[in-house]
């Protein structure tokens, strides 16, 4: 309560408190894809699993042992991951059908993904060696590419929503 003073008397004005609540339908959900009216949005396996299943269904996508020693390189790891994803996307232009998965184990970085079969074998082996060699020199640790091929991008569709 607070007091309001006037010239002739003191008035006590009660402090009003209100409870505000929002409806359950206003709940925001992140990391989930909205269902389209025609159910024609394709999702891959990684996209189809919501974030709370990462530890159960997607644990092989989240291997990161850089935080074992007091987490000293958290910022550097995040910047390196962004750099790796951009470099690989630019080098393998329009070839990846899935997300680029970065697995860090001790000082080894393994980059995994699914690519289309549309390029020649010699060009594919050149790009693998080129990517591994340049990233190894820049990041000062061994980098290994683990790629699988599919005939077309529609082969990676897990479900439609």
Mean pLDDT of 133-155: 90
Q: What is the rounded distance in angstroms from the CA atom of residue 46 to the CA atom of residue 43?
A: 8
Mean pLDDT of all residues belonging to the chain: 79
pTM to 2 decimal places = 0.66
Q: Give me the pLDDT at residue 32, please.
A: 77
pLDDT in tens, 116-131: 888 888 999 999 999 9
pLDDT in tens, 72-110: 667 788 888 889 999 999 998 888 888 888 888 878 899
The CATH code belonging to domain 33-160 is 3.30.70.1350
Q: Which tops the pLDDT comparison, 55 or 68?
A: 55
Quickly state the pLDDT bin for 70 (edges 50, 70, 90): low
Residue-range domain boundaries for the chain: 33-160
Helix (H) or strand (E) holding 161: none
Burial class of 38 by CB neighbour count within 10 A (0 to 12, 13 to 18, 19+): exposed
Q: Give me the pLDDT at residue 36, please.
A: 85
What is the SS3 assignment for 10? strand
Q: Residue 10: pLDDT above 80?
A: no
Quickly state the pLDDT bin for 153 (edges 50, 70, 90): confident
The set of residues, in sequence order, having a beta carbon less than 8 Å from that of 125 and lying 6+ positions away, is none
**Exposure letters 54-78 (e unless 16+ CB within 10 A, then b):** eeeeeeeeeeeebeeeeeeeeeebe
Burial class of 114 by CB neighbour count within 10 A (0 to 12, 13 to 18, 19+): buried
Q: Residue 61: pLDDT above 70?
A: no
């Amino acid at each position: 309560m607070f007091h309001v003073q006037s010239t002739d008397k003191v008035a006590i004005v009660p402090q009003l408190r209100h409870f505000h609540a929002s409806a359950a339908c206003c709940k925001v959900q992140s990391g989930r894809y909205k269902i389209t009216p025609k159910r024609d949005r394709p999702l891959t396996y990684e996209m189809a699993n919501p974030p709370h299943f990462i530890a159960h269904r997607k644990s092989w996508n989240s291997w990161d042992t850089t935080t074992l020693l007091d987490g000293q390189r958290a910022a550097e790891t995040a910047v390196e991951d962004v750099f790796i994803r951009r470099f690989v996307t630019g080098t393998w232009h329009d070839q990846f059908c899935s997300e680029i998965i970065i697995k860090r184990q001790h000082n080894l970085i393994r980059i995994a993904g699914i690519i289309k079969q549309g390029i020649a074998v010699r060009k594919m082996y050149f790009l693998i060696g080129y990517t591994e060699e340049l990233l190894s020199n820049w990041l000062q640790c061994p980098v290994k590419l683990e790629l699988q091929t599919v005939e077309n991008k529609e082969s990676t569709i897990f479900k439609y929503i």
